[in-house]
Structure 1
Amino acid sequence: MNKTAIKNYAIEARRKLMDGVRTKLTTLSIYEDGHATTQEAVEKLRAQGVFLSEGEVRARERLCEKLTGLSKELGDKKAFVQVIEAVAYTWFNRFVALRYMEVNDYLPSGYRILSSVEVGRAEPDAVRNAQYLDFVSQTKVEQFRDDTSPGAAERFYRYLLVAQCNALHDILPAMFQRIEDDTELLLPDNLYQKGGVVHDLVSAIHEDDFKDQVQIIGWLYQYYNTEPKADVFGRPKTAKIQKEDIPAATQLFTPDWIVRYMVENSLGRIAVEKLGLDPVVMGWKYYLPEAEQTPDVMAQLKVLANDDVFQLEELKIIDPCMGSGHILVYAFDVLMQIYESQGYTNRDAVRSILQKNLYGLDIDPRAHQLAYFAVMMRGRKYDNRFFRRNLMPHLYIGAESNGIRRSHLAFMGQSMNPMERNMALVQVESLLDAFQDGKEYGSLVSVEDYRWDLIGAFIDDFHQEGQFSMEAVGLEDTVAGLQALYFLGQALAQKYDVVVTNPPYMSMSNGSPKLIDFAKKHYPDSKSDLFAVFMEKCLQMAKPNGYSAMITMHSWMFLSSYEKLRGKMMNYDIINMAHLGARAFEEIGGEVVQTTSWVMQKHHTEGYQGSYVRLVDFNSQDGKEAGFLSGACVYSTQQENFGKIPGSPIAYWVKVKDGIFSDTLSSRFASGGRNKTHNDERYVRYHWEVRNSNPFWKVYLNGGSYRKYYGNNIEVVLWTEESKSEYQSHGGKLKDSAIQQEGVFWNKITSNLPGFCFKQKNWIFSSNAPTIISEDSNANLMTLAFLNSKVLSYYLKAMNPTVTTNPGNILSMPLLPVTTTVDTLVQQNIAISRADWDDFETSWDFKRNPLI
């Protein structure tokens, strides 16, 4: 698959479609700051030789009404851009879907609508064979063929394209909704001419990339969002990510092998346990066999496996952050394998999967549309007559209740028993409250303990006939909105055998105030990041003994801010984990995004041995996959061992000697605090920029390069009463006692391990040079030696394998006994390191170049 070509096309197609839609709007006298009247627009176009039909005039009027309504909510400019975005992505999705269907010969007509089966022919086959198409008017076809006026060929193609989309509504209604007149009105020109969006799609991306590769849909969706994502992250750091930004900011296509790992070790594991299937025979090469267990654990697992009667058609799996449906598509494939192993026909298997097994949800309507299409194409792959069966998958869009008029509830449930109606009304009111911000919270909305039977009866029982008051206007829209919430709510309320997803990664510091407050209230132990919140939510959605499989940032395994979350996770069995580290996604370089994928069962087995594959040292997506398949780098351990280390990090590769953490550095050392000027440009200088005789400039440790024992003391900070008062006003001034004592400092942020150096008395330090201090100078020396040892690196990587090392990480290290021999060696190391440091001109004590 040529991802470069796919990326280039998606980015350029978005630009061209948006420019084309904008041009259409301008042609219709609809502008960013308002629009002309219908009469003015029609007369202007008529003067240019363009004549709008009655239908097009009505479509323009509806479009203007839509913009007016949006402008009241968003303002003129945002409303204008939103309409452009919506029409552009609608056509983009349709073009991608049409291309996939024609390449795989799924179009019912049998004729390609975007291209030709003849190599080198630009004209689509549908144009040449229009007389054979049953979804067009042959009278109109003849009229177009007889039309020799300029632009006739383009108008003919637009007619065929719209007709094809409308015809596909009957079999794929969620992808090809009946095209509203205004959407058709804004369809850009010159689509299949050279440089047009359709022409580029056909010529830029090789046809083989569309053949039975539904994942291309996901890549196109991700790359289409490239510029919107860059726009979100290009804003000032203080800018919050709003609900409309979340899809672009957080969407990340999951590598195929990780999808397979998660599905095979959750859904596949159920099939192995309950049906006795052999993962090797099934071809599940990412399935990890159970680690060796004790007889006692094996007995517990045997009871667990046989605790209920398994019924395949009752199994439920959901991806609550489904994106473009990549995980759901592979889950579909695995389910088909399982059904086939049990003797089902393809037809019956596909029907059961869509009606009973598979569920998904996303807050982005664009993603929902593509996920729906991808799943439906899987159905068509396995069942040639699938399109005739009128099946709809359980895929839902995050919805909210703000547009529902509560006054309409008075017209509903009138035929119900009065007591039941009152109960139902209370339930419906509560449901509306729960989904007030549903488009922002998505799957996180909690809707358990509802009487869905009463709510369904209430919604279905509405009476509009005979209601002529203005209060009843729009009642059918309210009912439709309530029905959407009803089905979505039921999907969120029920429990699942498997919950598998790649959740959004977003620090809550970037979230909107509503989202931050929501997380604090409902998920206080995981509120730091959206991925952690979803860890809790996914386990809530799982049945007892069910599975949760996810790929997340690996920070939850180690950081102190997630210690309570780890405590919750330890109530369940980590079946296995692929610890990925950095560069698991080929689209993301660097060390910042470090991930782990894991499968957890909602059950705790005392003494259970989980399997952990350590892939952090492989530097590419392909390298990590190869490392996983090699069968090397596999560790097994009991979760109880994690509790032997302070903070209970998921340090599966560490063997901890009992009692080694019984006494830690925190018993003898303390954090020195920090100094923060909040304006280094004004208050910090290199030491050579100020006079040595000026007593108000003090040595300032402020981070730096990797050094051991001595160094990184090249800056000075202004230390006057006025400047100290300024630092204090921002909560950033050190205590004098911390300045006056010796200690140990290090560079806070590093891509590897920090180097630890000796802090002399009266040296000031910033938050970039965290420092621990002790009144015992011997302890300082002994600890400095330990912190620069391989023993420290072993434990520190286990407890905090991130780019940031804080005092809390160091103070939790074991305290070793002080010995005079080590003190002497450390003093020698400091002297050697200092001599090396002084050989550079940047040192305070530089005398001359050692090479002279």
Structure 2
Amino acid sequence: MTSFALQELKLIDPSMGSGHILVYAFDVFMQLYEAEGESPRTASELILENNLFGLDIDQRAFQLAYFALMMKGRQYSRRILAKQLRPNVYVIPNNSEIGETELQLVQIQFNDQKKAQQDLLTLVKGFKNGAELGSLIQFEGLDFENLKSGLNNINISFFDQSIKEMILVGELLQQQYEIGITNPPYMGSSGMDKILSGYVKKIYPDSKSDLFGIFIERLEEMIKPTGYYAMITQHAWMFLSSFEKLRIKINQQTIVNMAHLGTRAFEEIGGEVVQTTSFVITPKKYKNYAGGYLRLVDFDNYRLKETKALDAITGSTDYLYTIKQDRFLEIPGQPISYWVSENILKLFTMPSFVDKVNFKEGITTANNSLFLRYWFEIDALNKNWIPYNKGGSYRKWFGNNDYLVNWYDDGNVIKNYPGSSFRNKSFQRSDGATFSALTSGNFSVRKSVSNAAFDSKGTMFFSEKYNLYNIIGYMNTNLFQKLLSYVSPTLDYRFGTIQKLPLLYINVENIVKQNILLSKKEYTSFETTNDFSQHPLIGEIV
């Protein structure tokens, strides 16, 4: 790489915080410049002027990033503070005062005044919600060379200074970069305010579930087609159905490599438990490229993860997987299940549950304290209350029959309650099986008791084409758990994901019925269940 090419290499961190990534990137660029024979003093100035760019919505974070980069420059160039040089880091403007009328007062002179007025109007409108939208704001077609032609006048007013900031930040948001690196903010859609929520639903509908997913899309937009972007995010985008459209977009690019970190990637045991992954992607699609994936999710502290990562670099392949990205397309939902084997991939080519088994989501009462009771709270003779499947903890074959639901007037007492969702009434109280949509452990299926209604978290399934007991048996196997782990390792077992899995026919009806009877006997042998008759130890003592 020539010295000129190195000066043209631009790196952006659109959510820079206090600048940790940019400071590290400064050291990397310094090594590159020194390798080309550049003096450290000149290199430090070139890096700040040409190579590093950063944005954030927090004023204090911006100030820290600015200070950190200037101190890095001062480390190599003692006179840098006396020069007219500032790092290319900015806080996103939040324009609440300047509009079309106020723009008429701008005293800045531009080469093309008419075009500048049009572009300035676009800028002030774009930054109207800068504090909420930050680097998600986009600009296209603005002539920043023309706009910057008016910034040479050093005697500009405070009002004009605000315009200047918008021009400089707007250019950073419009131009493209060779490299993008960031640790984006995390925020689920439920935590977004009205402005941010409305914006991302319109502009980023495929990743609107969380800000980190939105920033994956945004950073890719800021990168040239031949560039690279790297991030560390929660790993939910790799598997959850809510990010499936985002994965489809990513699988049209090229994942260069990934370190799947899991929990406690930065602290000792007992620290943060956010499941994280770090990765490098290029927008360009390279056919038949096999990416490297480092699986560190099974190690419970960052020191052990670091040791295993170094082992992989030095030749150990126990935790390093290499797979062509197109293989992800063979799995329903295109999850980034890089550790999948060839034999498992073959199973995914078999017919799925779809059209053979009916998975149904149940009721949302909108007021559980009004409509639900534990079985021991209701008189057994009260026929208005019926069994209610509401998920629960890990348990196979039979059990978790803790709740009753008020079914007065054939359930209309719930259906007519404000805010409730009375789904799939024709399937309520039907013969079927149930499982927990959300659990902290492995997946487990149970035969439902007769006459039971079911909750949105206690999904049920029914089948007229296949023997229900054979399906229960198959779904309780270790094989099914393994298949499920490739499409939903987050322990969020939504039926939309499950019904895409291969349905393997196994004839185990008699074994399953026996297991159900044994499980029921064990379950009802304790006084906490409604069918309790006698504790098992009493019989043994007698």
- 1:358 corresponds to: 52
Instruction: Give the 5 Å matches for 1:308-347.
Output: 311-347=5-41
Taking a change above 3 Å as real, the CA distance of residues 846 and 523 of structure 1, as seen in their structure-2 partners, is same
- 1:234 corresponds to: none
Shift of 1:510: 1.2
CA contact (8 A) 1:838 1:846 kept: yes
- 1:648 corresponds to: 334
CA contact (8 A) 2:178 2:227 kept: yes
Structure 2 counterpart of 1:524, which letter?
P
Distance in 1 separating the partners of 2:5 and 2:528: 73
Secondary structure (helix, strand or coil) at the match of 2:184 reads coil
- 2:237 corresponds to: 556
- 2:517 corresponds to: 831
* CA-to-aligned-CA distance 1:206-257 (integer Å, 9 cap, x gap): xxxxxxxxxxxxxxxxxxxxxxxxxxxxxxxxxxxxxxxxxxxxxxxxxxxx
Within the candidate set 431, 443, 461, 2:123 is matched to: 431
Secondary structure (helix, strand or coil) at the match of 1:666 reads coil
- 2:444 corresponds to: 755
Is residue 806 from structure 1 mapped to residue 487 from structure 2 by the alignment?
no
- 1:443 corresponds to: 135
Structure 2 counterpart of 1:676, which letter?
T
- 1:696 corresponds to: 384
- 2:175 corresponds to: 494
- 1:304 corresponds to: none
Distance in 2 separating the partners of 1:440 and 1:326: 23
Distance in 2 separating the partners of 1:392 and 1:460: 15
Compute the RMSD of aligned alpha carbons: 2.4
Secondary structure (helix, strand or coil) at the match of 1:311 reads helix
Q: Which moved more, 1:333-342 or 1:636-645?
A: 333-342
Is residue 742 from structure 1 mapped to residue 431 from structure 2 by the alignment?
yes
Secondary structure (helix, strand or coil) at the match of 1:343 reads coil
Structure 1 counterpart of 2:364, which letter?
K
Distance in 2 separating the partners of 1:518 and 1:651: 31
Structure 1 counterpart of 2:437, which letter?
K
Distance in 1 separating the partners of 2:354 and 2:28: 51
Secondary structure (helix, strand or coil) at the match of 2:90 reads strand
- 2:453 corresponds to: 764
Distance in 2 separating the partners of 1:690 and 1:734: 25
CA contact (8 A) 2:108 2:151 kept: no
Distance in 1 separating the partners of 2:66 and 2:236: 33
Taking a change above 3 Å as real, the CA distance of residues 836 and 578 of structure 1, as seen in their structure-2 partners, is same
Distance in 2 separating the partners of 1:414 and 1:355: 24
Structure of higher CA gyration radius? 1
Taking a change above 3 Å as real, the CA distance of residues 347 and 676 of structure 1, as seen in their structure-2 partners, is same
Which blocks of at least 5 consecutive residues in structure 1 are unaligned? Answer: 1-273, 276-308, 464-474
Shift of 1:801: 1.4
Secondary structure (helix, strand or coil) at the match of 2:467 reads helix
Distance in 1 separating the partners of 2:171 and 2:193: 27
- 1:602 corresponds to: 283
* CA-to-aligned-CA distance 1:74-107 (integer Å, 9 cap, x gap): xxxxxxxxxxxxxxxxxxxxxxxxxxxxxxxxxx
Aligned length: 530
CA contact (8 A) 1:414 1:462 kept: no
Identity %: 39
Distance in 1 separating the partners of 2:434 and 2:372: 19
Shift of 1:734: 4.6
Task: Choose between structure 1 and 2: higher strand proportion.
Answer: 2
Instruction: Give the 5 Å matches for 1:270-285.
Output: none
CA contact (8 A) 2:255 2:282 kept: yes
Secondary structure (helix, strand or coil) at the match of 2:351 reads coil
Distance in 1 separating the partners of 2:412 and 2:348: 41
Which blocks of at least 5 consecutive residues in structure 2 are unaligned? Answer: 313-317
Distance in 1 separating the partners of 2:55 and 2:108: 32
Distance in 1 separating the partners of 2:203 and 2:235: 22
Structure 2 counterpart of 1:816, which letter?
L
Structure 2 counterpart of 1:756, which letter?
V
Q: Which moved more, 1:632-641 or 1:762-771?
A: 762-771
Distance in 1 separating the partners of 2:239 and 2:95: 39
- 1:455 corresponds to: 147
Shift of 1:367: 0.3
Taking a change above 3 Å as real, the CA distance of residues 385 and 414 of structure 1, as seen in their structure-2 partners, is closer
Within the candidate set 459, 481, 494, 2:162 is matched to: 481
Shift of 1:848: 0.9
Shift of 1:493: 1.5
Secondary structure (helix, strand or coil) at the match of 1:657 reads helix
Per the normalisation by structure 1, the TM-score is 0.59
* CA-to-aligned-CA distance 1:414-469 (integer Å, 9 cap, x gap): 8667xx32222111111111111112211111013211122223566799xxxxxx
Is residue 382 from structure 1 mapped to residue 70 from structure 2 by the alignment?
no
- 1:666 corresponds to: 354
- 1:618 corresponds to: 299
Per the normalisation by structure 2, the TM-score is 0.92
Distance in 2 separating the partners of 1:750 and 1:735: 23
* CA-to-aligned-CA distance 1:633-689 (integer Å, 9 cap, x gap): 111111110111111111111124336344111221122221222222222222122
Taking a change above 3 Å as real, the CA distance of residues 717 and 415 of structure 1, as seen in their structure-2 partners, is closer
Distance in 1 separating the partners of 2:209 and 2:109: 48
- 2:315 corresponds to: none
Larger relative contact order (C-alpha < 8 A, sep ≥ 6)?
Answer: 2
Shift of 1:835: 1.4
Is residue 797 from structure 1 mapped to residue 485 from structure 2 by the alignment?
yes
CA contact (8 A) 2:136 2:218 kept: yes
Distance in 2 separating the partners of 1:681 and 1:373: 54
Secondary structure (helix, strand or coil) at the match of 2:345 reads coil
Shift of 1:711: 0.7
Distance in 2 separating the partners of 1:311 and 1:459: 27
* CA-to-aligned-CA distance 1:378-413 (integer Å, 9 cap, x gap): 222333444344531111101023223644533557
Shift of 1:313: 1.2
CA contact (8 A) 1:404 1:481 kept: no
Distance in 2 separating the partners of 1:323 and 1:416: 33
Taking a change above 3 Å as real, the CA distance of residues 490 and 382 of structure 1, as seen in their structure-2 partners, is same
Secondary structure (helix, strand or coil) at the match of 1:752 reads coil
Shift of 1:826: 1.1
